[in-house]
Structure 1
């Protein structure tokens, strides 16, 4: 569901306010919580320091009192003589003087001699208690005696040897805890090892320990409850088997109250801010969206083609005025751009000619006229080489100047011009009574072939021109355009400057397209339409058949045979030759492997084209196929014609070197009828020469052929090549080749090309007959 801009602005403003308020609240809450926590920890730390100083002061007082007592000569004499009354009097008076609740005198065995209290009950193992107290040396120790917790210190009485020990201590009472609470501001509780609370500044319920009590106490707050106390435990020096600690409990009620008050204040302020933000955003959204609604109406008018629409606003802001002006400018720019787009959609940007789709529309309109229409297609020959050698700018300028000459030549005619492809131009002219199509084409050709001056260069361009007339050659724009291009293509194929379309050529063209489609399908389906035939080659030295030439055959699904020359030529023109050759390589290498499994070691020659040899995937595919079928590379011969080598000599030589490095045999096919010079022959990395059959078919009847073949065989051997003669038709020719020292022979006299199974049968019969 779509929402209005006004509501979105309001939602955005409120959202920002809420987000800011929430962020502030969360930040305040977090920072305050951290502050309170640090404050509580600092207070506990201060309380610990205060308590530590308190204990140290008490300890110093105990040490001083005990030292005074044990140094008193009269006290020592009383102890030495075991004067009970004097000892008791001294202990009592001394405890009153320093407010010590514990004054005990023990003999060296830990037995009680005297105490300031008559009812004092020492632990049964007083000797071990005494030893434990002595281990703390001059430090005070917390000890429970007669159910009372004392901070006590023990010192020896020496005269001069140790004759007794005196224990002086202060009782830890609720009054002490309350005094500490006043100093530290925290509740103070003393807890022994069993968890029993001995003394506390708090009024604890009967039977409940301090930790149990403080953990149970909670405070009601705005968002639930929180613990009332934060506790910290400080271990006190005590006897080994009787741990004592002090629990400091900080009361958090006041902190909670202040914090909750602050949070409530922030919440109220946030709500007020949200309310003000809502009111302000509503006002802003209304003032902003009103002119935008008017601009929306203006845009709708633009969409209907009314680019003169205006917006009337009573109090527009400077930004709205600028936006309105921009809308008016946009309307004018859209008008201009629409005209450019319409032109670009139907015209070529470089020449200004119509494009293909616009040409079809225009041609259909012209065909309505009763006047004849001449269609002349112009293809610039060698434009690709101009782009490669002189650069694309020169090539583009060639196209532009050719287009200008075409327009200038047709200035007196009712003509339309089109650019159908990179170098394909078209002119459609209305026929005149005194202008035949031949006359028009001739004058156009002369105009176009004059020298071109481009960026300081003088260029002479050549053209392939195809022409036809309507309605003689068709009454449909699609057909006429296709047939014009067919005529221009035929001019290029036949090497003539001008070609006039003849009826029926379109059907031949469509038939070729259909063959190409069927060839693609046959390669894709691999349904047996395509198969390999193998023509044996006789090894004159061994008199054995150890090599074959692999020849592809195609029998269409309707049973019709297609000439290899035809479909291989179509494959080269359509770019299918690489895929077709890969299929051949896979099939032949697979057949070699199949023969090996039957004990037949047979070399096979594979014919490849110029496109194959320079294709980057050719060599890797051959190598992968050999590895796939585990076939040695020496069993494969790659045959190329002289024409293929001449077309791509540099890349071809590099590819042949790679083939030889792989271990394959390289053969130069159709030698003697091409253009390979002896100088080029010595540079080619080949292993074999294959004499063209034109010299072999009537070898026994032609002395000239015999001289050519004999000299070629001698030349090939001297250059290190083996020589193969193809086209052997009779025994006499075969005998002559053997006498001349030829290495291999093949031809119908030996056998026509046979499918694999038939070849195996023929090979068996041949060996039996031999």
Structure 2
């Protein structure tokens, strides 16, 4: 027992026995669960196979019937003699080997019907259907949008698809093709799933056995399977399909439980035999391993001690011609190479093997350090254009050579603080902002470094890149997010065929929340998830509320209140803004009419989008909405940002002029941001300017903001425009703006946007209070 060999062998024996015991115990305990799981998997797989193939037949029929209905040949003979129509119909039927083909005239008469029937020796023949010349018994199908139906004819059930036959805008009839649901189909699924298959159909409150792969099938047994009451001695799964014109159609798939269990038991015994053989082989291997290990142990003790002490300079002297001698020689070689290998490993862990540039590991450490130091920087994500074409035409070796030339040229740009190669055709350049270089200047440096062609074997290859740019701290303070944002900008640059793009949150079209909002916004209006809130505008001379701005709110069923900034831009990008604007206009004007009838006389301000200005009927819609709700034109203000006019200024200005001529007020929203300019402002047919809140929120502490706002008010008055100031959040701003002749003001200090009921109550209280004081 003191022998190391014996101890090693016994250790292996005990370990193997323990492992085998645990495995055997686990398998015994899990046998029942495995059996049930196997049965469940088999049944679910069988049901999935049936569903996919049954639906495939339906889709195939639908596609074929639509194609046949477009055939000019059958249209030519459709209203001609019956023989020609039957001949043309049979030609189409043979293309898909359909079991039933019908032509139905515009007056619902079956003008042609072909039915494939079984004759002796499993042969089939095509004959005229028994309903030829009769009225089609399911005329409601002809007006329905549904194309898939179950058709019962002469005791045979067909899977049928209808398609209208049109000439111009007129429907001259319908074509129908069907596959029989028969024993052949049931046998087909039996071969695939190894489960018996029954098809049943409910007709006049009575279940009929349509077809079965089981010669002794019983309709009541199949009905039991469909209802989920499978007898204990069977396994089975059923499904009741009611989508076919309210005709319950049932599927039952089943087999004897004993057959399945027998297969599992065979597998169980096979595993036990395999486990026993494995145990014997493992024991033999353990004995051999123990013997081979213990013999040279003592001879290597001295060498192990020298290595453990870190003495790599002493050579190991072991005279052995076998593996131990080779091991000793390898120790000597290892001692000389270990330091070099450590350096090589460190270098490889941090550098790309193709270009020898720093890789992602160095990049992430560098980014993290810059973020910790709070050093402002810009990240340029470069993608080499047309590398895939080079790889496909000249080979990957040339592509690698091209990547190396790109790396060499980018390395010569001394402006950047770090150049990394992420692999493939992707490079990262980082520059600290204090170096005071503009983005266009940096992009030009990159492009200039790559502009000279690369000559490879007489072939001139041009180096071009697309660039995505993100900045710290403007865009994010997380290294991985910065990389993701730069990549988002890069992908957008590629899609828009731009040389470079800086990240903007509007480019981030891949967020899960954004994708969910895109899908959910389509049903927000129809599901009554939208609501208008109103924010008052105060006349700063009289301190009376005279205007109200309508602001849309989205109460998402799962996300709660979604801010407008999160979905207005989505609506503009996905083409839903026009529908949203129409809902806001209709709702706001309807509420305005209610207020007027209640003695509340307010001007309603409604925001419109650049996309609205592109709609040909937008002017007519606004005028009709105003007329329908009997709201005076001068009590409606359309707020539009100046940037909305940039895309097509001539058409936009013409449309705004029409609104102004009609007496509707036009307001420039968020003045002072974006594209605002005196030249542009002079051309716009507007009544008022709305000063952006960014200039108003800090009036009490920022002299520059006061200068800007004062100048804007004077400019507007000199041009004959009134001024509205948003973002009033304190008493100083309110009084200061009143003192400098600003006409209207709105902001949280006056009132936050309120739901209709709360706003109405608030306005009444304000007006009543003013009346009492007056």
Output the TM-score relative to the length of structure 1: 0.38
Q: Decide which structure has the larger Cα Rg and report it.
A: 1
Output the TM-score relative to the length of structure 2: 0.38
